Amino acid sequence: MKKQVGIEALAIAVPRRYVDIEELARARGVDPAKYTAGLGAKEMAVADPGEDAVALAASAAARLMRTHAVDPAKLGMLVVGTETGVDHSKPVASHVQGLLKLPSSMRVYDSQHACYGGTAGLMAAVEWIASGAAAGRSAMVICSDIARYGLNTPGEPTQGGGAVALLVSEQPDLLAVDVGLNGACSMDVYDFWRPIGRREAVVDGHYSIKCYTDALSGAYRNWRERALAHEVVRWGATMPGEQLARILYHVPFCKMARKAHTQLRLCDIEDAPNAPASTPEGREELAKSSASYNAQVASSLDLNARVGNVYTASLYLALAGLLNTEGAALAGQRVGLLSYGSGCASEFYSGVVGDKAAKRMATTNVEAVMAKRERVSVAEYERIMNLSYENPEPLPPQAGEFRLSEIRDHKRLYTQGP
Ligand code: CAA
């Protein structure tokens, strides 16, 4: 039998505070429906300077190791996907290795390509294991980011932060990846970027949405070509995309998943051997199907709507949300995943949900992590946003979580809660 490889378990970490999105809209003099119905948001995580990409990554990783009894001696690779790292040279991954006292006999590095960096790391881990080079060892891939555009900007309601840690192994209890079917599409574009030294991203918002959907089309069509060749999907009474039980998207804001799904359906509708609608308007209308969106996408977005954008981690937060609610029902079924990173790179891949997904998700208990959060006012959110990155607030870390406590001689020092 062909070796199975994929995600065995996951754990999340989120900032301790969040702001209500309708309250933020009212404070900005905007109709709250623009942020809720227009962007699909409910709440937005607010990370303070003590909750940087290292602290969030280490907190998620520690939770993964603890709740799933991961044997550190069996890890051979640690990759952190991030675009909000804390140093031009020292990777977030080496901080995590030290904080978790992981063995030295490991490949440890960061992977950066905007929001795609986590998926790049995941695929490196999956293919390392599938190739046999891992010789039975597992990998940990952590996606950790803080999305920040600044106060009073169009991007403000699409901020957020958090981390998702993934255990990748030959025992894919959550998701067995269809190794080799991946479709990629990359282009040189300036849609979203963050010049060195800037805290906030620069973004050409509407153009970034077009870059995302263009890249999605290329990546999905590449995946579909391979999936058709391997008879994983086929043209028939239903279109190839409709044969995936669920499709997970990169979620910079929840409404983007709806736009992405329309684009994916449009690819199938335009390319179908027996085109189901002949005019561009007819094809567009068919692609927009709310029934399809509700059946294939909506159930994955709960955590994203409550946390906001998490850049590299947003696709994997959607995976956590989906398996948290539908892990049992989806066992044995194939889902599609679309990763997008500005600049830009995208990848579409698929995998089969494992029989133990629901059990693993119950162990990881994402709801307990979410329930610990504290709602803050818009005034408090603004105060936190204006804090200097150099002097983190002297707050005690929460139980089991890491926090940046001090920067001394340009070295970052972290403490862990009891
Ligand atoms: N009631 C209901 N809906 C309303 C409304 C109201 N009163 N007012 C506006 N809306 C709707 C609009 O119709 C629109 O919906 P559609 O796109 O479906 O038409 C939606 O609310 C947003 O309105 P606008 O487009 O006018 O909003 P905006 O110009 O202020 O900015 C944005 C929206 C471009 C997404 C901005 O928030 C932004 O720049 N965000 C950051 C960039 C981003 O997330 N890009 C995504 C692709 S890039 C990527 O994915 C990488 C990454 O992680 C960043």
Provide the pLDDT for residue 323.
Answer: 98
Burial (Cβ within 10 Å: 0-12, 13-18, ≥19) of residue 2 = exposed
Q: What's the 254 CA to ligand 1 centre distance in angstroms?
A: 10
Output the pLDDT for position 269.
94
The yes-or-no verdict on residue 347 having pLDDT over 90 is yes
Whether the Cβ atoms of residue 248 and residue 335 lie closer than 8 Å to each other? yes
Identify whether 127 is a catalytic site residue.
no
Q: What is the total residue count of the chain?
A: 418
The pLDDT value recorded for residue 25 is 98
Q: What is the H or E stretch that residue 111 is in?
A: strand 107-111
Q: How far is it, in rounded angstroms, from Cα 406 to Cα 410?
A: 9
- 410 counts as catalytic: no
**Atom 37 of ligand 1 has which residue's CA nearest to it?**
155
Which is nearest to 218 in space by CA: 338, 352, 81? 338
Nearest CA to ligand 1 atom 52: 252
Q: Please state, in angstroms and rounded to a whole number, the distance separating the CA atoms of residues 265 and 144.
A: 30
Owner of token pair 């862990």: 416
Q: How far is the CA of 280 from the centre of ligand 1 (A)?
A: 24
Cα(318) to centroid of ligand 1, in Å? 19
Is residue 25 in a domain?
yes
Asked if the structure places residue 32 within a domain, the reply is yes
| Per-position DSSP letters for 34-75, written without gaps between them | IIIIIT--SEEEE--TTS-HHHHHHHHHHHHHHHTT--GGGE
How much is the pLDDT for 337? 99
**Residue of minimum CA distance from atom 7 in ligand 1:** 34
Calpha distance 411→397 (Å, rounded): 19
Q: Which atom of ligand 1 is nearest to the CA of 156?
A: 37
Averaged pLDDT of the chain? 97
37 lines ligand 1 (CB under 6 A): yes
Q: Is 31 in the pocket of ligand 1 (CB under 6 A)?
A: yes
Calculate ∠ Cα 84-319-163, nearest 5°.
25
What is the per-residue pLDDT across 4-17, written as a single tens digit (0 to 9) for each? 999 999 999 999 99
Instruction: Please give the residue range of the domain that contains residue 219.
Output: 6-416
Angle (CA) 390-395-398 rounded to 5° is: 120
Atom of ligand 1 nearest to the CA of 342: 51
Q: What is the pLDDT of residue 390?
A: 86
Q: Is the CB of 253 under 6 A from ligand 1?
A: yes
pLDDT of residue 2: 73
Classify residue 102 by its DSSP letter: -
Span 287-305, pLDDT tens digits? 999 999 999 999 999 999 9
Q: Is residue 1 part of a domain?
A: no
pLDDT score of 280: 86
| Side-chain half-sphere exposure of 282, counting CA atoms within 13 A | 7
Q: Is residue 327 part of a domain?
A: yes
- What value does the mean pLDDT take over residues 327-355? 98
Instruction: Specify whether 254 is catalytic.
Output: no
- In this structure, what CATH number is given to the domain that contains residue 72? 3.40.47.10
Rounded distance between C-alpha atoms, residue 275 and residue 268, angstroms: 9
209 lines ligand 1 (CB under 6 A): yes
Closest residue by Cα to atom 28, ligand 1, is 154
Q: Catalytic one among 43, 51, 211, 250?
A: 250
For the stretch 139-192, pLDDT in tens is 999 999 999 999 999 999 999 999 999 999 999 999 999 999 999 999 999 999
CA of 273 to the centre of ligand 1 (A): 34
What's the domain count of the chain? 1
Output the residue whose Cα is nearest ligand 1's atom 13.
38
Q: Residue 251 falls within a domain, yes or no? A: yes
CA 26–ligand 1 middle distance (angstroms): 17
Asked whether 213 lines ligand 1 (CB < 6 A), one says: no
d(CA 248, CA 213): 14
CB 117 near ligand 1, within 6 Å: no
- Rounded Cα–Cα distance for residues 339 and 34 (Å): 25
Residue 92: the pLDDT is: 98
pLDDT at 275: 72
Q: Is residue 334 scored above 80 in pLDDT?
A: yes
Ramachandran quadrant class, 163 (left: phi over 0; alpha: psi -120 to 50; beta: rest):
beta
Report the amino acid identity of residue 280: P
pLDDT at 261: 98
Average pLDDT rounded to a whole number, residues 224-243: 97
The C-alpha angle with vertex 368 and arms to 404 and 75, in degrees rounded to 5, equals 60
Nearest-CA residue for atom 50 of ligand 1: 252
Q: Residue 11 in 3-state DSSP?
A: strand
pLDDT, residue 91, reads 98
- What pLDDT score was predicted for residue 1? 52
- Name the pairing type of β-strands 183-186 and 75-81: unpaired
pLDDT band at 121; cut points 50, 70, 90: very high
Spell out the alpha helix ranges (H) of 103-182: 117-131
CA-CA distance, 63 to 346, in Å (whole number)?
A: 29
Average pLDDT over residues 401-415: 97
Catalytic residue among 8, 43, 51, 83: 83
Out of 35, 203, 210, 315, mutate this one to test ligand 1's pocket (max ligand atoms within 8 Å of CB): namely: 203
Residue 193 lies in a domain: yes
Residue with tokens 């989120």, as numbered in its chain:
14
Decide if 33 is inside a domain. Answer: yes
Whether residue 344 is contained in a domain is answered as yes
pLDDT confidence tier of residue 198, bands split at 50, 70 and 90? very high
Q: How confident is the model at residue 318 (pLDDT cuts 50, 70, 90)?
A: very high
Tokens describing residue 304: 């994203």
- Copy the structure tokens of residue 221: 């069509």
